[in-house]
Amino acid sequence: MLVLFACVVIHEAGHALVARRYGIGVSEIVLFAFGGVSRLERDPAEPGAAARVALAGPATSLVLAAIFAAFAAVLPRQSAFEQASSYLAAINAALAIFNLLPAYPLDGGRVVHALVWKLTGNHTRATRFAGTLTTLIGYLAAVGGVLLFFRGALVQGVWIELLAWYVVSSARAEWQSEVVFTPLKGVRCEALADPPGEALQPDMTCESALREMVKSRRRVLPVALDGRFLGLVTLPDFATLDGRDPQSVYVTAIMTRLDDLVTVAPDVSALDALKRLSESGHHQLPVVEDDRLIGFISEGTLARAVAFAEEQGTMFRAPSVTSRGAT
């Protein structure tokens, strides 16, 4: 079982390595009941790259299947190692075949998406086609699960139903991401950032800082010196005083310093900022360039931008986004 677990990790590592070849970072690899998924920092820019990243996982599993089959062929028949190798060869082959099914979030669904994208030249149309196909497969699987359930295969039926639910939910999520959030791709964070508010001076006491925060009706205020952004002070930070006199403690003692903050650059797309917000667990992110605070990107900011796009049928005209992140 440990080796099988490692095989799933290697399968996902195959996706990650090919993605990095195209300059796409991988933020994490998540394993769950149905397998695993590699979280790419951004989507591939063209269908060929998308297909290769998707096919890397099944190809890796097939290579592992061949390796274990070779081990089984040379090991003594009916030995524990021979049986384990035969099992691992079969399960890796099954993993490759299963992942090639044309349904999200399986690799086969992403290959179908890349193929339709290549043929039509339209990413949204490809997402719609792949999502519809995935939903159809999910409903067919659900019917199959019900039939298994009534034929007495209770465990298998429930398992198939869970898988069908997961597939249909994934198709819906892909479509929502494409239709609702894609307009954010063409907008830079600097175009949406909310003003940061009046900056606190580093020699300001915590009492004065709290008074300024109440006066401005803000839960977060920056700390800056001569325009250089030093950090942030939030309302919960004052709880770290631990009984100390707020008149004798400088605000720099309780602030979160710039080096410890999750920030975004002004030329990062709003869609990437949304993903970073989701991953960080924060409600807003500072937009920073050369130690200068431009503003904040929040969940509310992005929600208003999406609502505006839906009402207008278009998004702000903005320069194309360039990535400056490390790969």
pLDDT in tens, 242-252: 889 989 999 99
Residue 319 reports pLDDT greater than 50: no
pLDDT of residue 91: 92
CB atoms within 10 A of CB 229: 22
Least confident of 171-185, 186-200, 283-297: 171-185
Residues 6 or more apart whose CB falls under 8 angstroms from that of 261 comprise 231, 232, 286, 288
pLDDT tier at 309, thresholds 50, 70, 90 = low
CB atoms within 10 A of CB 289: 15
pLDDT tier at 180, thresholds 50, 70, 90 = low
pLDDT tier at 326, thresholds 50, 70, 90 = very low
pLDDT tier at 324, thresholds 50, 70, 90 = very low
Residue 196 reports pLDDT greater than 90: no
Least confident of 27-31, 67-71, 265-269: 27-31
- Residue spans per domain, the chain: 1-100, 118-185, 189-312
CB atoms within 10 A of CB 16: 20
pLDDT of residue 34: 59
Q: Is 314 exposed, middle or buried (0-12, 13-18, 19+ CB in 10 A)?
A: exposed
Residue 316 reports pLDDT greater than 60: no
pLDDT in tens, 258-303: 988 888 888 888 878 887 887 777 788 899 998 899 999 888 888 7
- In the chain, % of residues over pLDDT 70: 90
- Write the secondary structure of 277-308 as one string of H (helix), E (strand) and C (coil): HHHHCCCEEEEEECCEEEEEEEHHHHHHHHHH
Residue 322 reports pLDDT greater than 70: no
- In the chain, % of residues over pLDDT 90: 30
Three-point CA angle 17, 18, 24, nearest 5°: 85
Q: What is the DSSP letter of 151?
A: T
In angstroms, the CA 99 to CA 57 distance is: 8
pLDDT of residue 222: 92
pLDDT of residue 69: 94
In angstroms, the CA 257 to CA 209 distance is: 16
pLDDT of residue 33: 61
Q: Which pair of tokens denotes residue 149?
A: 């359930």
In angstroms, the CA 293 to CA 223 distance is: 10
Fold of domain 189-312:
CBS-domain (3.10.580)
Which H/E stretch holds residue 29? strand 26-32
In angstroms, the CA 225 to CA 237 distance is: 20
User: What does pLDDT average to over the chain?
Assistant: 84
**What is the value of pTM for the model shown?**
0.60
